[in-house]
Structure 1
Amino acid sequence: MAAYSTRPSWLKSLLDDTNPAPKLYAWSPANIDSNIRSDQPISDNPDGRIFILGIGNLGRLYASCLSMHSPRPPITLVVHKKELLSQWVEGPGLEIIRLGQLYRGKDEFQIEWWTEETPSQGPVREVANANKIRNLLVTTKAAAAMPETDRLRRYLDSSSSVVFVQNGMSKLWPPHGQEYISNRYPNGDGPNILACVTNHGAYSEGPFKSVHASPADSTIGPVLLNENTRQIAPSVAYLTEAITTAPALNARSISRADLWVSQLQKLVVNASINPLTAILRCKNGRLFEDPDGVTAKVIDRLLREASGILQTLINHPSSTDILASSDKSTQSLEALREELTARFSFDRLRPMLYKIGEIVKENSSSMLQDVRAGKKTEIRDFNGWLVETADFLNQDNSGQQPILDASCHQALVSLVESGAVMNEEELGKHILSS
Structure 2
Amino acid sequence: MNSFKAGCCKHSLRMVSSFTGSRQVPTEWLRRVTEDQSEPPRLYAWRLTNLADGANYARKSLEVGEEIPNSDDERHRIYILGVGNIGRLYASFLAKNNPRPPITLVVHRRELLDQWNARPGIELVRDDGRIERNPAFRIEWWTDAQPAHGPVREPGSGCGISNLIIATKAPDAIPQVDRARRYLGGGSTVAFAQNGMCKLWPPLGEAYVAARFGKGGGPRWLACVTTHGVTSLEPFRSVHASPADVRVGSVMVRGGDGWDGNGNGNGNDGDKDQDDYLAEQIVGAPGLAARRVATRELWVAQLEKLVVNAVINPLTAVLRCKNGEVFEERGDGLGDVVEMLVEEASRTLRALVGHRSSEGILRAQDDAVIGAAGEKSLERTREELLERFSSVRLRTMLYSVGEKVAANTSSMLQDVQAGKKTEIEDFNGWLVETARYLGDEGLPVNEKLISLVEDGAVRTRGELVKELRDSRG
**TM-score range with shorter-chain normalisation?**
over 0.9
- Residue in 1 that maps onto 2:456: 419
Is the Cα–Cα contact under 8 Å of residues 253 and 360 in structure 2 kept in the other structure?
no
* Equivalence map 1:374-389=2 (5 Å): 374-389=419-434
Is the Cα–Cα contact under 8 Å of residues 145 and 164 in structure 1 kept in the other structure?
yes
Task: Mark the CA change 1:225 to 1:409 in structure 2 (over 3 Å): closer, same or farther.
Answer: same
Question: In structure 2, what residue type is equivalent to 1:366?
Answer: S
- Residue in 1 that maps onto 2:411: 366
Query: d(CA) in 2 for partners of 1:153 and 1:95?
Result: 31
1:102 to 108, 131, 134: 131
Tell me, yes or no, if structure 1 residue 296 matches structure 2 residue 316: no
* Equivalence map 1:159-198=2 (5 Å): 159-186=187-214, 188-198=216-226
Query: d(CA) in 2 for partners of 1:73 and 1:178?
Result: 31
Is the Cα–Cα contact under 8 Å of residues 192 and 222 in structure 2 kept in the other structure?
yes
Q: Secondary structure at the match of 1:204?
A: strand
Question: In structure 2, what residue type is equivalent to 1:34?
Answer: G
Q: Secondary structure at the match of 2:276?
A: helix
Is the Cα–Cα contact under 8 Å of residues 192 and 236 in structure 1 kept in the other structure?
no
Query: d(CA) in 2 for partners of 1:42 and 1:332?
Result: 54
Query: d(CA) in 2 for partners of 1:236 and 1:387?
Result: 37
- Residue in 2 that maps onto 1:400: none
Cα shift at 1:382: 0.2
- TM-score by structure 2 length? 0.86
Task: Mark the CA change 1:316 to 1:187 in structure 2 (over 3 Å): closer, same or farther.
Answer: closer
Query: d(CA) in 2 for partners of 1:328 and 1:102?
Result: 47
Question: In structure 2, what residue type is equivalent to 1:72?
Answer: R
1:108-148, Cα deviation, whole Å (9 max, x unpaired): 21000001100001111111122221100000000000000
* Equivalence map 1:35-434=2 (5 Å): 35=55, 36-37=57-58, 40-41=68-69, 44-98=72-126, 99-106=128-135, 108-186=136-214, 188-224=216-252, 227=255, 237-290=276-329, 293-326=332-365, 332-394=377-439, 403-434=440-471
Is the Cα–Cα contact under 8 Å of residues 332 and 462 in structure 2 kept in the other structure?
no
- Residue in 2 that maps onto 1:397: none
Question: In structure 2, what residue type is equivalent to 1:147?
Answer: P
Runs of at least 5 residues in structure 1 that lack an aligned partner in the other structure: 395-402
1:368-415, Cα deviation, whole Å (9 max, x unpaired): 000000000000000000000001000xxxxxxxx4431111111111
Cα shift at 1:327: 6.2
Query: d(CA) in 2 for partners of 1:390 and 1:221?
Result: 25
Q: Secondary structure at the match of 2:249?
A: strand
1:29-63, Cα deviation, whole Å (9 max, x unpaired): 11112322287337720111000000000000000
Task: Mark the CA change 1:412 to 1:141 in structure 2 (over 3 Å): closer, same or farther.
Answer: same
Cα shift at 1:237: 1.4
Is the Cα–Cα contact under 8 Å of residues 95 and 102 in structure 1 kept in the other structure?
yes
Query: d(CA) in 1 for partners of 2:204 and 2:319?
Result: 34
Tell me, yes or no, if structure 1 residue 11 matches structure 2 residue 30: yes
Is the Cα–Cα contact under 8 Å of residues 436 and 442 in structure 2 kept in the other structure?
no
Cα shift at 1:226: 6.2
Question: Is the deviation greater in 3-12 or in 158-167?
Answer: 3-12
Is the Cα–Cα contact under 8 Å of residues 49 and 150 in structure 2 kept in the other structure?
yes
Identity %: 51
Task: Mark the CA change 1:175 to 1:292 in structure 2 (over 3 Å): closer, same or farther.
Answer: farther
Q: Secondary structure at the match of 1:26?
A: strand
Is the Cα–Cα contact under 8 Å of residues 284 and 360 in structure 1 kept in the other structure?
yes
Query: d(CA) in 1 for partners of 2:344 and 2:223?
Result: 26
1:68-118, Cα deviation, whole Å (9 max, x unpaired): 111100000000001101100111410001131111111x21000001100
Is the Cα–Cα contact under 8 Å of residues 367 and 377 in structure 1 kept in the other structure?
yes
RMSD in angstroms over aligned alpha carbons?
2.1
Query: d(CA) in 2 for partners of 1:255 and 1:404?
Result: 33
Q: Secondary structure at the match of 1:252?
A: strand
- Residue in 2 that maps onto 1:398: none
Question: Is the deviation greater in 311-320 or in 233-242?
Answer: 233-242
Is the Cα–Cα contact under 8 Å of residues 29 and 112 in structure 1 kept in the other structure?
yes
Is the Cα–Cα contact under 8 Å of residues 191 and 225 in structure 1 kept in the other structure?
no
Is the Cα–Cα contact under 8 Å of residues 160 and 235 in structure 1 kept in the other structure?
no
- Residue in 2 that maps onto 1:34: 54
Cα shift at 1:292: 5.2
Task: Mark the CA change 1:295 to 1:163 in structure 2 (over 3 Å): closer, same or farther.
Answer: same
Task: Mark the CA change 1:26 to 1:235 in structure 2 (over 3 Å): closer, same or farther.
Answer: farther
Task: Mark the CA change 1:328 to 1:103 in structure 2 (over 3 Å): closer, same or farther.
Answer: farther
